Amino acid sequence: MLTLLLPLRLSLVPPALTGGSVAAPVLAAQTPEIRVQYSSSAGSVTDRGVYSAPSSAGPAVVTVRSGALTSTVRIAVVKSDSAAGIKSDRGVESQRTARGGLWLDEDFSRYTSREQYLSNPFGWLVNAPRWFNQQRISLDTTEGYGTSHQSLRYNWSGNGRQGCAKDIAIATSYKGPPASELWIEVVHKFATTFNTNVIGTGGVCKFGEYKFLLLWRPTGDRFDLINGHMGRTWWSGNPENPAFGKPPNCSGFNYNCEIPALGSRPLWDGQWHVYRVHIRFNSASGVPDGIFEIWVDGKLVKSRRNIDMTGSSKGHKWSNRLSEIFLGSNSNSGTGQPTQTWWGRLRVYTSDPGW
């Protein structure tokens, strides 16, 4: 069975063979805050989004309505088990999504307001502590990625000299999937005025870096991608025993290390960029078969393979699950001036999407 995701991001599961039906994924469940209505030109669809194909092959159109929003998906019902028989408005991308085990598809288009987003209507956000500073989050209807009409914007106030050596954070956090291997795709844009408030890059501080993407395990350790270290370079760390690297190119929590493949390009260019991560947890504590990889705009920039993720810190604890996905976190020195960053998409897969 293959899962197609509607533009409203409510799940539709059309069987390739006629007359079948399957339960919708948990993420498609309706909530008191968000109610939708389904209808179909052929076959049937329940109020939970479970689609049953008609007895004969042919085209079908499924319509989803939520308030003033309407979305449709065209489906070809065929007598075949092949994924190639399933077509939709999203074409090849839909087929890749279906094959790729898409667990979460967030492009921020489904929300009617900032308040609705922060109310966690779909249950996939983690409760935010006060230090997340979510009063600085907004929905930007003038900046959307792909087919989305809006994005999640972080509004940085600019801290100048007062920001030096301070941890100034804006963040939102998503729950991780119950999987021992996963692929994460994030699409993000920095304003051209963004910086990490370091001397020589528009700031006044001696040190700065932005915790751009943090992927936490329940054991209290993390995989990460760090932007603008000392104003220019990218760094990254991950649980690994023994710890990888040594100063001066590696330092800090579980040894974050510089990513030479990215050079001194912090990507503060006002353009969307695509960041992809692959994590395969080692099969058991102490077994060195784990993988941690990062791509930026299609280029593999970090690859750690055959590693033991028991961890060289936090008491050598081990877990084969990801508990939280932080979109952003703290900037050690804030920014040198008021500026913005945008999150355009978050996708999480539990099987290989074929990047």
225 is a domain residue: yes
Q: Look at residue 246 in the predicted model and tell me its pLDDT.
A: 85
In this structure, the answer to whether residues 123 and 268 fall within a common structural domain is: yes
| φ, ψ at 94 (rounded to 5°) | -60, -40
Count CA within 13 A, CB hemisphere, residue 13: 19
Split at pLDDT 50, 70, 90, the class of 84 is very low
Statement: residue 311 has pLDDT above 80: no
CA-based nearest residue to 237, from 229, 220, 225, 246:
225
Average pLDDT value for residue range 138-164:
96
240 is a domain residue: yes
CA-based nearest residue to 316, from 264, 257, 265, 254:
254
| φ, ψ at 164 (rounded to 5°) | -60, 130
Residue 321: CB atoms within 10 A of its CB come to: 14
Last residue of a domain, one of 47, 73, 88: 88
Contact partners, residue 207, CB within 8 Å, separation at least 6: 164, 165, 198, 230, 332, 333
Between residues 255 and 186, which one has the greater pLDDT? Answer: 186
Q: Which residue has the tokens 């907004």?
A: 138
Inter-CA distances, 13 with 20, 69, 135, 195, 241, Å? 10, 21, 37, 44, 42
Q: Look at residue 207 in the predicted model and tell me its pLDDT.
A: 94
The DSSP element (H or E) to which 17 belongs, if any, is none
127 is a domain residue: yes
354 is a domain residue: no
d(CA 327, CA 307): 25
Q: Which residue has the tokens 């299609």?
A: 298
Rounded to the nearest 5 degrees, what angle is found at the Cα of 25, between the Cα atoms of 20 and 27? Answer: 150
In this structure, the answer to whether residues 33 and 122 fall within a common structural domain is: no
Average pLDDT value for residue range 67-80:
65
Last residue of a domain, one of 48, 73, 88: 88
Tokens of 60: 């079908």
Contact partners, residue 208, CB within 8 Å, separation at least 6: 195, 196, 197, 198, 228, 229, 230, 231, 331, 332, 333, 334
In this structure, the answer to whether residues 70 and 182 fall within a common structural domain is: no
Average pLDDT value for residue range 350-354:
95
CATH number, residue 167: 2.60.120.200
d(CA 115, CA 329): 20
229 burial (CB, 10 Å; 0-12 / 13-18 / 19+) is buried
Average pLDDT value for residue range 170-176:
98
In this structure, the answer to whether residues 295 and 200 fall within a common structural domain is: yes
In this structure, the answer to whether residues 75 and 159 fall within a common structural domain is: no
152 is a domain residue: yes
Q: Which residue has the tokens 């799940």?
A: 11
Residues 5-25, buried b or exposed e (16+ Cβ, 10 A)?
A: bbbbbbbbbbbbebeebeebb
Average pLDDT value for residue range 23-33:
42
Residue 335: CB atoms within 10 A of its CB come to: 27
Into how many domains does the chain fold?
2
Statement: residue 74 has pLDDT above 70: no
In this structure, the answer to whether residues 26 and 148 fall within a common structural domain is: no
In this structure, the answer to whether residues 13 and 137 fall within a common structural domain is: no
Statement: residue 187 has pLDDT above 50: yes
229 is a domain residue: yes
In this structure, the answer to whether residues 122 and 72 fall within a common structural domain is: no
Between residues 75 and 103, which one has the greater pLDDT? Answer: 103
**Amino acid letter, residue 334:** G
95 is a domain residue: no
Average pLDDT value for residue range 310-339:
90
Mean pLDDT of the chain, nearest integer:
83
100 is a domain residue: no
Last residue of a domain, one of 44, 70, 88: 88
CATH number, residue 46: 2.60.40.1080
> Mind listing the pLDDT tens digit for each residue in 99-122?
459 999 999 999 999 999 999 999
Q: Look at residue 41 in the predicted model and tell me its pLDDT.
A: 81
In this structure, the answer to whether residues 153 and 69 fall within a common structural domain is: no
In this structure, the answer to whether residues 169 and 22 fall within a common structural domain is: no
d(CA 322, CA 218): 7
Q: Look at residue 242 in the predicted model and tell me its pLDDT.
A: 87
In this structure, the answer to whether residues 189 and 270 fall within a common structural domain is: yes
The region of weakest confidence among 39-43, 97-101, 309-313 is: 97-101
The DSSP element (H or E) to which 152 belongs, if any, is strand 151-156
Q: Look at residue 296 in the predicted model and tell me its pLDDT.
A: 98
> Mind listing the pLDDT tens digit for each residue in 196-240?
999 988 899 999 999 999 999 999 999 999 999 999 999 999 999
Estimate to the nearest angstrom the gap between the alpha carbon of 308 and the chain centroid.
Answer: 25
> Mind listing the pLDDT tens digit for each residue in 249-296?
998 756 799 999 999 999 999 999 999 999 999 999 999 999 999 999
In this structure, the answer to whether residues 186 and 290 fall within a common structural domain is: yes
Radius of gyration of the CA atoms of the chain, in A: 22
Average pLDDT value for residue range 182-186:
98
Domain range for 339: 114-349
Inter-CA distances, 279 with 24, 26, 135, 215, 282, Å? 26, 23, 32, 10, 9
